[in-house]
Structure 1
Amino acid sequence: MTVTILFAAPEARWADYEAPLHAALRETGLDYRLGLSFPPEEVDYIVYAPESHVQDFTPYTRLKAVLNLWAGVEGVVGNETLKAPLARMVDAEGLTQGMVEYVTGHVMRHHLGMDAQIVNPEHEWDPVMPPLARDRPVTILGLGTLGQACAHALTGIGFPVTGWSRTPKDVSGVTCLHGEDGFRHALEHAQILVLLLPDTPDTADTLDTRAIERMPRGAFVINPGRGALIDDDALLAALDAGEVAHATLDVFRQEPLPKGHPYWAHPCVTVTPHIASETRPPSASRVIAENIRRGEAGKPFLHLVDRDAGY
């Protein structure tokens, strides 16, 4: 039987994904057809992005699974017409590695105080010795696939890493905390704070005034997770007061970030244009093809979303 796979993402993405998806699907040995348009009642799988034209899943009566192209599923998880399994993108080759490199690079940048050497218009000779990594505690909020991978990379360099998650986790070499008391403790020693939580109603404004007040004065904030995790007014106030030394922000509530937004002009903010971890078509296509293979073999899908938790 032929498996019908609908690519329901913005058409501009099709040029990037068409060849890699075909290559990955051929490796499964399945008889398949892949394209941008099929009668809904004939579709078995949807390769999906939230900007898709498909918002009503009701006509897709044969649908076996929706395979999200991105790690974040906040744009689809609440869709009440979607009854089929929903899988998020977990791609160790591309997505995860990209996040590890982004987080590690910016942690090292702030840890070493590199900005002062890169931008030194007065040519001042100011030999400030940074601490060793072992003396710079890092806290990661969010211990999912991305958070755990970043934690392992940082502990490998020598940073003492504390990770916080909503539910208990056990990550080798990482101090794992959970719950409200754990959240407060995780912030108290966070000289560098990395936000990698999902975007859910429970995580909105995780970094607010009260949370910032618990952090060491002069801490650094890195947010490659979701824009809604930060109370922007609270962070700007903390930056102005010197409570936070610098914020490196890759994600925002509105993207692209409006040109007049205060983050652009603030001397203690680095804006990066949502580049921390992009889905790479070749490796992401292999993840999608593997889930389709598993579905056709009657095996459990990988990376299924917990609809109640929202991720």
Structure 2
Amino acid sequence: MTLTVLFAASDANWQDYAAPLRAALADAGIDATLTREADPAGVDYIVYAPSSPVQDFAPFTRCKAVLSLWAGVERIVGNPTLTQPLCRMVDPALTEGMVEWVVGHALRHHLGMDRHIVNPGRVWDPTCPPLARERPVAMLGMGELGTACARALAALNFPVTGWSRTPKDVAGIPCLSGEAGLEQALCGAAIVVTLLPRTPETENTLDARRLALLPQGAVILNPGRGALIDDAALLAALDAGRVGHATLDVFRVEPLPQDHPFWTHPRVTVTPHIAADTRAPSASRVIVENIRRAEAGEPLLNRVDRQRGY
């Protein structure tokens, strides 16, 4: 039987994914029609992005899984019509991109590269940075992405402490959990990386009280979710010098509005949600592997826990 795979995402996504998805389906030996329009009752799988006009999943009575193109699923997981299994995107290429962004900006701040790259006054400043082993890092979020970034930084001799809401055990990385663990991680962190999912429990994880726990001049890197940080509290901490710099890749509203104070603050770097873009060729193989697994009666990869929200 020929499967029907509905591609429910933007025109731009279709241009990127149509050929790689068809190639991945053929390579896997799966007889499937990839389409942008189909009778909902005849759809076997939905490849999905939250920008899709598909918001009511009730008519898709035959659908075996909704396969997200995005790593974050907060915009879909609470949809009451979504009763089908939901799988988030965990792509090796996405992980590699996140590791490169986090390591790059961590090293940038660790080495003080900004003062050399932008130096209009030609100031000769021979200040030598400490070694990486003297610059503690707190990795907030020890899922797939956080663990990969923690290991990469630890390989450069940064002392990395992981934190997550629930206990984790990661070889070589001391991990904390719970409120006391979060406070402990923040109190000693020269660099804080936020890679938590967005859930009601993680919103404003870095609020005024917790930002006040940081050592003077700590750096924050946020490639996770904009809502993890209280914007007003962060700006106040930057103005007070408690936070030395914040490099932010994600925001509550995107694109970041032109009048947002992050754009002009001297201690903020804005990057346009590029830390971990999904690459169509590798992501297509991830999606097709889940279709293969479902057809073979095997467990789906990266299936979302509806209760936890990720």
Q: TM-score range by the shorter chain?
A: over 0.9
1:9 paired with 2:48, answer no
Offset of residue 282 of structure 1: 0.2
Ranges in structure 2 where 5+ consecutive residues have no aligned partner:
none
Give the equivalent residue in structure 1 for 2:37.
37
CA-CA distance at 1:27 after TM superposition: 1.3
Q: Distance in 1 between matches of 2:239 and 2:179?
A: 28
Distance in 2 between residues matched to 1:262 and 1:244, nearest whole Å: 16
Pair 1:194-2:178 in alignment:
no
Aligned counterpart, 2:243? 244
TM-score where L is the length of structure 1? 0.99
Alignment match, 1:308: 307
Matches within 5 A, 1:1-311: 1-92=1-92, 94-311=93-310
Deviation larger for 82-91 or 25-34: 25-34
Secondary structure of 1:164's partner?
A: strand
* Structure 1 residue 31, shift from structure 2 partner: 1.1
Q: Which amino acid in 1 is paired with 2:153?
A: L
Identity among equivalent positions (%) equals 66
Separation in 2 of the partners of 1:101 and 1:190?
A: 20
SS in 2 for 1:255: coil
Paired amino acid for 1:10: S
Q: CA deviation at 1:143?
A: 0.2
Aligned-residue Cα RMSD (Å) equals 0.5
For 1:257-291, what per-residue CA distance to the aligned partner results, in whole angstroms no more than 9, with x for missing partners? 00010000000000000000000000000000000
Which runs of at least 4 in structure 1 moved beyond 4 Å after TM superposition?
none
Q: Is the partner of 2:212 in helix, strand or coil?
A: helix
- Point out where structure 1 has 5 or more consecutive residues left out of the alignment: none
Measure, in 1, the Cα distance between the counterparts of 2:35 and 2:29: 18
**Could you tell me which amino acid in structure 1 is paired with residue 33 of structure 2?**
R
Residue aligned with 1:239, SS = helix
Specify the code of the residue in structure 2 equivalent to 1:187: L
How many residues are aligned here? 310
Q: Could you give the per-residue CA deviations for residues 155-206 of structure 1, whole angstroms, max 9, x where no partner exists?
A: 1011000000011111121110001111110101110000000011101111
Q: Distance in 2 between matches of 1:173 and 1:222?
A: 22
Question: What secondary structure is seen at the aligned counterpart in 2 of 1:5?
Answer: strand
SS of aligned partner of 1:18: helix
**1:37 maps to amino acid:** E
Which letter maps to 1:69? L
Letter of the 1:279 partner, please give it: T
Matches of 1:75 and 1:110 in 2, distance apart?
32
SS of 1:170's equivalent in the other structure is coil
Whole-angstrom distance in 1 between the partners of 2:171 and 2:101:
22
Amino acid at match of 2:129: P
Question: CA deviation digits over 1:115-149, x for unaligned, max 9?
Answer: 11111111011111100000000001000000000
TM-score if structure 2 supplies the norm length?
A: 0.99
1:28, distance to aligned residue in structure 2 (A): 1.3
